[in-house]
Amino acid sequence: GVMSMRESWNTDSKKNILIPSQTPGLTFVKRDYHDGMLRCSWHRAHVTSVRKTTFNTATNSYHLLLAAGLFEGNTDVKKEHYERDYTKAPVNLKAMQVALGGAGSDIFIKLHGSLMIVAWILLVSVGILLARHYKNVWEATTVCGVKPWFAFHRVLMMLAVTMMIAALVLIFYRVGQWSVTENPHPILGIVCSVLGFLQPIMALFRCHPHEDNRYIFNWAHWFNGNAAQIVAVATIFFAAALEKAQLKGADWFIYILAAFVGFHVLVHIIMQIHSALMSKKVASNDIKMQDRSAANGVHAVEPGLDMEPPATDAPGGGFRRFMLGIYLVVAILVVAALVSTIWFASAP
């Protein structure tokens, strides 16, 4: 087909209006198609008038808007743009200067990434750790009538879901539409967000802990939560390669994230081994006490309603608290490093 150049008028939204006739003073100079890329150049008079508005590039500076997109198959119909950028400051078109892009450092993109990292790396990770390994810690304490692990787990997860919603609203407001890109970050982001939203919904319909079918909820909640976190972390890895993220020069972002994943897995392995050892210790102590009681002819008396045994931590509670403290410190430092990278290490 034959390439042609058309002007459009940007409206207040992210859409534009095609101008039907060519502006006087605008000349199409060169067109070229090479290696799948269309290129063109043109001359524009310093003073032109579009829609009763006069533009003078000789005396005024203007923001430049750039965009890239694909054609629809083998036709000449243009698809939606998949990349957009704009200059941070107005550009003097008569001067030789370096124009810095502003889209990559957009505050909405930074806030989106920061909220998702805090939600998935800190809040969700700590919430999962508490639910998996801290049900028998702080047994003598309640928070708002429930066990501490459950109270903290619930608060952390609801905060995480709130941050996810805010992050999605910000990025869709910024982009304005679905991003067409080969990077799987957008689709994975939607997947992990949907899985994350399902978690509290599932919890609302859970049955009583002593119901026969409770195991169905337990396994479904466990699988959905772990799947959501795994997909979310993968999504953050892919985000580092996005042009809009401007993290290609910050290789340490990937290294820090990978190190935290290894640390997270290691902590869960240590806690699992510790739980197994403590279970063996409890079973061994129970057998010894039963043997000693039988030898002395002593029978244990079942406590009555007014003789409830004191609630205490399961063996190893001190070690669990220590590991939780270590995990919290590392998670907070990692999140601080990742968020700082997003805000202060963006490449121009």
Please report, for the domain that includes residue 185, its CATH number: 1.20.120
Q: Are 131 and 225 members of one domain?
A: yes
- Contacts of residue 240, Cβ cutoff 8 Å, sequence gap at least 6: 247, 248, 250, 253, 254, 257
Higher-confidence position of 344 and 232: 232
Q: Are 95 and 170 members of one domain?
A: no
Mind listing the pLDDT tens digit for each residue in 185-240?
999 999 999 999 999 999 888 888 888 888 899 999 999 999 999 999 999 999 99
Q: Are 88 and 112 members of one domain?
A: no
Q: Which residue's entry shows tokens 């939203």?
A: 197
141 vs 121: CA distance, rounded Å: 28
**Does 284 have pLDDT greater than 60?**
no
Higher-confidence position of 316 and 152: 152
Domain of 182? Answer: 106-275+312-344
Q: Which of 87-96, 100-109, 170-179 has the least mean pLDDT?
A: 100-109
> Of 57, 78, 103, which residue constitutes the final position of a domain?
103
Entry pTM: 0.70
Q: Are 80 and 52 members of one domain?
A: yes
Asked if residue 296 is part of any domain, the answer here is no
**Does 305 have pLDDT greater than 50?**
no
> Of 103, 129, 155, which residue constitutes the final position of a domain?
103
Total domains, the chain:
2
Mind listing the pLDDT tens digit for each residue in 97-152?
665 555 545 789 999 999 999 999 999 999 999 999 998 888 778 888 889 999 99
Q: Are 125 and 222 members of one domain?
A: yes
> Of 61, 81, 103, which residue constitutes the final position of a domain?
103
Q: Are 154 and 39 members of one domain?
A: no
Q: Where are the alpha helices (DSSP H) in the chain?
A: 107-117, 125-133, 148-175, 185-204, 214-239, 252-296, 317-344
Q: Are 219 and 340 members of one domain?
A: yes
Percent of the chain with pLDDT over 70: 79
Q: Are 142 and 75 members of one domain?
A: no
